[in-house]
Amino acid sequence: MANVYDFTVKDRKGNEVKLAEYAGKVLLIVNTATGCGFTPHYDPLEAMYRDLKEKGLEILDFPCNQFANQAPGSEEEIHEFCTVKFGTDFPQFAKIDVNGENAEPLFAYLATEKPFAGFGRGIKNAALKKFADLNNKKFGEKAYIKWNFTKFLIDREGNVVARFEPTVKMEEVRSAVDELLAK
């Protein structure tokens, strides 16, 4: 059976990185964007990373421009934005597609392991769903990820244990990470 350690991705400079290098760590894998309403998630993500890195947490950041062109910059421009504006220190990888024919295989795998279950209730969530559905219509069955800042939680053995849509409160994400690190 496959797990995330079977995948190789590219860092922001184009170098191949085997995710097996993160074996034994708890991972939070996130597709991000610099111009999204959820971009402020970088603050609690960085705080979580600072607080929990020594306990075995790694956050892996994958910029993506497939959602309303909200990450139009180059890898270097995106990295500079994140480090200057949010002080991010966690690993940032090459900009990728998460949907369609050119979807990064890692994200197709993650979404297959933990499929989309909805954005939750409320008018904002319903509005996001409508907008996401229109945006993702072009990807058909390969619309794996519905919006920016979808987060996947991976245990120390490389198994996908949870998926958090961007509408999930960061406190809930942090609680799940804390719980997994304590195991």
Predicted local distance difference test score (pLDDT) of residue 144: 93
The answer on pLDDT for 149 being more than 80 is: yes
Confidence (pLDDT) at 46: 97
- Give the pLDDT band (50/70/90) at residue 134: confident
Active-site positions? Answer: 36
Higher-confidence position of 91 and 136: 91
Q: Global pTM?
A: 0.95
Is residue 126's pLDDT more than 90?
no
For residues 108 and 96, the answer to whether their CB atoms sit within 8 Å is: no
Using one digit for the tens of pLDDT, what is the confidence trace for 55-107?
A: 999 999 999 999 989 999 899 999 999 999 999 999 999 999 999 999 999 99
Confidence band for 2, pLDDT divided at 50, 70 and 90: confident
Q: Helix crossing, 75-86 with 42-52: angle to 10°? A: 80
Q: What domains can be seen in the chain, in order of their start residue?
A: 4-153 (3.40.30.10)
pLDDT digits (tens, 9 = 90+) for 10-63: 999 999 999 999 999 999 999 999 999 899 999 999 999 999 999 999 999 999
Alpha helices, H only, the chain: 42-52, 75-86, 105-113, 123-136, 170-182
Which of 149, 177, 152, 161 has the alpha carbon at shortest distance from 50? 177
Q: Which burial class, exposed, middle or buried, applies to 127 when counting CB atoms under 10 A from its CB (0-12, 13-18, 19+)?
A: exposed
Which residue is associated with the tokens 């919006």? 147
Q: How far apart are CA 157 and CA 146, in angstroms?
A: 26
The pLDDT value given to residue 7: 97
